[in-house]
A and B are shown apart, each in its own frame.
Chain A
Amino acid sequence: MKPDTYFKRFSVTVVSLWLGLFALGAFLLVISVSFLSHSNDELITGPITLANYAALADMIYVKIFLRSLLLAGSCTVMSLVLGYPFAYLLARAPEKIKNTLLLLVIIPFWTSSLVRSYAIVALLKAQGILNTVLLSLGIIHQPLQLLFTDTAVMIGLVYNLLPFMILPLYANLERFDMNLVDAAKDLGASSWRILTRIIIPISMPGIMAGCILVLLPAMTLFYIPDLLGGAKSILLGNLIQMQFLSAHNWPLGAALSVVLTAFTGILVLVYRRYSTEQDRQDFV
């Protein structure tokens, strides 16, 4: 065989072994659990059944799913709107300070997200920092009721997920060839046209990567909505956690995760089908 393929073989083997064991192996266990039952004394037991999937055909789960999707979707849009210009400016920053600026995006995330979320609570409280500042500046005359509202949840989610939008966008935009923009300018294109016809289409893979990294975790995050939103609603993450922990119904929890995975898998597949058609040349 050609020596050229040594590297290919090595890399494909390492990756397949790792993901095969720790992702596929683990998930196959989840799938098998989803077809089993549970009893009062055993978390997982025979017989094999489809009852867990049948149980999911229930309006209440659909409602919870839609609610989570809506929340995660709006969080993704917010992150994109805030993060795209930021990533673009970062990628265009002078070479000297670029890495430092990037580092500064990640450093906050090296401290516990739970502790940082409590700090957001301290900011938003009725007698909290934000209200105190705004009141003393005379901007408002009544304390804003922000804590335990949807606004607070959105602030918390965007805050925690923004880097997952910024980083892939940055990685993508940093390679963007500014000559294209100059060329377009020379040809008389307006800024808007340059943005919508050149910059955005070329950075599409980065946008998609960022959206996936924000949307999917946002679907199942729960402690930030619980802490900032006062746990008044129930999201997919709560639901799955509830099955595994308080209800001791692992098979149902497993079935829920399998369906969630299948659904998002289809979403991603649809995207890939439509996006990868253009670059299917030059494989080794």
Chain B
Amino acid sequence: MKTLLKSSYLAAIYLFLYLPIIVLMGLSFNDSRHSLLWHGFTLHWYRALFHDHDLWIAAGHSLLLGLLAAIIATCIGALAAVSLYRYRFLGKNILNGLVFLLIVVPDIVLGIALLLLYNQLHLTLGFFSLLFAHITFCIPFVVVILTGRLSTIDRNMFLAAKDLGATEFTIIRRVVLPLLMPGIFVALLLSFALSFDDVVVSYFVSGPEYEILPLRVYAMARLGVKPELNALCSVIFLVTLFAAVGSQLLGRKKA
């Protein structure tokens, strides 16, 4: 009985998370440009989507950007979380404050601030300006998630490791990192999601030659979401779903 209750709670939340996706997949077959009600079945939007080469180029750009941003942000964020948790150093409170600053500051302010900063640095707007921006706004999320995880580690473990003669690097590698691993996995996935969906910051730091998907999607939604976008999102969703579930299944077989 109790298990049933638990399972149905989990199922209900998953339904809540997936219902809009199911709806948008349905709408991607909807034979209407300007309505969110059902007007009949069509494959028109998928045809349009596969002919829209610019969109695919933008999607490729976003994929690369998201992967790099997620990996680098997770590395820097993990270093930050460990340093803030484990060490005492000059300016520690300032670093702590900067992490919160990045969460508090509205996207538009961060975007404009980075644009002003890039002006000062004479950095051309394009791939790198986007990458630095994305890494920056992902870092605080990584730090918060990993700090939440670190706080559960029993500090006596470090003392024990030290007594046994472990160097600091060994402690990090052998004790902290394995414990952090699930958190790092979550942080990577979340960072990628943040990068792949960011409009406001990217808007201000992108250049003419490097168009990315969220900007294109946002601009295309100007006159209401085109069903073509629903088709695009359905494709992205299915690809990620299969890739993710597939990798999980594969991973389990090996193990």
The interface stretch among A26-34, A52-60, A136-144, A192-200 is: A26-34
Q: Counting CB contacts under 8 A, is B148 at the interface?
A: yes
Report whether A112 and B214 are in contact in the complex, using a CB–CB cutoff of 8 Å.
yes
Report whether B91 and A16 are in contact in the complex, using a CB–CB cutoff of 8 Å.
yes
Instruction: Enumerate A228-249 residues with CB–CB distance to B below 8 Å.
Output: 236-237, 240-241, 244-245
Scan B91-127; emit 1 where CB is below 8 A from any A CB, else 0.
1001111111111111111101110110010000000
CA distance A19 to B153 in the complex (A): 26
Main secondary structure of the interface of B (DSSP, over half): helix
Residues of B within 8 A of A105 (CB): 17
Report whether A119 and B23 are in contact in the complex, using a CB–CB cutoff of 8 Å.
yes
Report whether A261 and B197 are in contact in the complex, using a CB–CB cutoff of 8 Å.
no
Residues of A within 8 A of B91 (CB): 16
> In the complex where A11-B79, A112-B229 touch, is A103 in contact with B244 (Cβ < 8 A)?
yes
Residues of B within 8 A of A202 (CB): 152
Q: Counting CB contacts under 8 A, is A35 at the interface?
A: no
CA distance A85 to B9 in the complex (A): 9
CA distance A164 to B37 in the complex (A): 31
Scan A189-226; emit 1 where CB is below 8 A from any B CB, else 0.
00000000000001001100110110011001000000
Main secondary structure of the interface of A (DSSP, over half): helix
CA distance A100 to B139 in the complex (A): 24
Report whether A111 and B233 are in contact in the complex, using a CB–CB cutoff of 8 Å.
yes
**Which one of B82, B144, B153, B221 lies within 8 Å of A114 (CB-CB)?**
B221
CA distance A135 to B88 in the complex (A): 62
Scan B188-207; emit 1 where CB is below 8 A from any A CB, else 0.
01101100110100000000
Report whether B9 and A114 are in contact in the complex, using a CB–CB cutoff of 8 Å.
no
CA distance A121 to B240 in the complex (A): 24
Scan B65-106; emit 1 where CB is below 8 A from any A CB, else 0.
000000000001001101100111101001111111111111
Interface size in chain B (residues, C-beta < 8 A)? 101
Report whether B221 and A122 are in contact in the complex, using a CB–CB cutoff of 8 Å.
no
Q: When A and B form their complex, which 5 residue pairs have the shortest distance between CB atoms, in order from nearest?
A: A175-B152, A26-B113, A220-B106, A122-B36, A119-B20
* 21 pairs, CB–CB < 8 Å, chain A vs chain B: A4-B167, A6-B168, A7-B168, A8-B87, A21-B117, A22-B133, A22-B135, A99-B251, A103-B245, A108-B20, A112-B218, A164-B141, A171-B149, A175-B153, A210-B148, A212-B103, A244-B109, A257-B105, A260-B106, A265-B101, A268-B100
- Residues of chain B having any CB pair with chain A under 8 Å: 6, 9-10, 13-14, 16-21, 23-24, 27, 36-37, 76, 79-80, 82-83, 86-89, 91, 94-110, 112-114, 116-117, 120, 132-133, 135-136, 139, 141, 144-149, 151-153, 155, 158-159, 167-169, 172, 179, 182-183, 185-186, 189-190, 192-193, 196-197, 199, 214, 217-218, 221, 224-225, 229-230, 233, 236-237, 240-241, 244-245, 248, 251-252
- Residues of chain A having any CB pair with chain B under 8 Å: 3-8, 11-12, 14-16, 18-27, 29-30, 33, 82, 85-86, 89-90, 96, 99-123, 125, 127-129, 159, 162-164, 167-172, 174-176, 202, 205-206, 209-210, 212-213, 216-217, 220, 236-237, 240-241, 244-245, 250, 253-254, 257, 260-261, 264-265, 268, 272, 279, 281-284
